[in-house]
Amino acid sequence: MPKSTPDQLSIVRNGLFVSRSLTADITDTAPNAQRLVKEHFGRRPLSAVELIVTSPKRIPALAATSQGAAAGIPEDVYADKLLSFTAKPTDLYSVTVIAPKNTIRILINAKRLRRRPREIGATLVWAFVEVDQLCRKGSLERRIALTRHEMGTHVLPKGKARSLHRIEAEMEAESREGHRADRRQGHPAEPAGRSRRRPRGSHHRAGRGRLTLRRRAPDLRTPRHPRRPAPLTNAPPPARS
């Protein structure tokens, strides 16, 4: 059964072999990540969010089903279609999609985060920035138009399709900024007191960004190599005995 948390957020474990401990970690971390993003933007109420922890093999079908149903596409059409942004599901940490009944779904790649638990906080911040983006004016209509275009029910002119894809790329760059900021700040979305050993090779590819989701305290530590004072070149010579 879905586990409910504040702010219209539910978390679902999808798949027999999906880690229960990973799902528990995500359940603990998700409310903090959602709060950080809401406090940063502070412009829109977020829609109801369903976070699904699943395997990479299930992500393409879940994404197509969710967005196809939200776009009003017949089931016999979207059942055989895949969306371009899930072409390589094993490379994804998460993907955020529209869903029916004014809901947004975050599909989490359990296999990737199981191997890289230090990325849980940053991945969830990234995902909730995408949720915020989908709540903005015109975002739902744009995502519906692109879904219908890719599934062939309402094909757009090439120029229009390129324009919508360009906006989606700009939104992705913004989410990467949020992810990068969270990593620079030591994953503030993670609950206090939790420590994880960083696995080898756990680098998340992300673009440069300056989005600040949390103010950083000034660094009051003593520098490792403090600057030595300059010699006194005009000092008097030592007295002779």
Q: CA-CA distance, 90 to 58, in Å (whole number)?
A: 10
Q: What is the DSSP letter of 95?
A: E
The greatest distance separating any two alpha carbons of the chain, rounded to the nearest whole angstrom, comes to 105
- Would you call 216 exposed, middle or buried from its count of C-beta atoms within 10 A (0-12, 13-18, 19+)? exposed
**Cβ atoms of 104 and 131 closer than 8 Å:** yes
The answer to whether 46 and 141 are in contact (CB under 8 A) is no
Question: Quick one: how far is CA 240 from the chain centroid?
Answer: 73
The whole-model pTM stands at 0.73
Strand partners, 97: 105
Give the neighbor-by-neighbor strand order of the sheet with 103-109.
3-5, 9-13, 48-54, 103-109, 94-99
pLDDT tens for the 241 residues of the chain, in order: 555 554 689 999 999 999 999 999 999 999 999 999 988 887 666 679 999 999 999 999 999 999 999 999 999 999 989 999 999 999 999 999 999 998 999 999 999 999 999 999 999 999 999 999 999 989 999 999 999 999 999 999 999 999 999 998 888 887 676 556 555 555 566 654 444 443 333 233 333 333 334 433 333 333 344 444 444 444 455 555 4
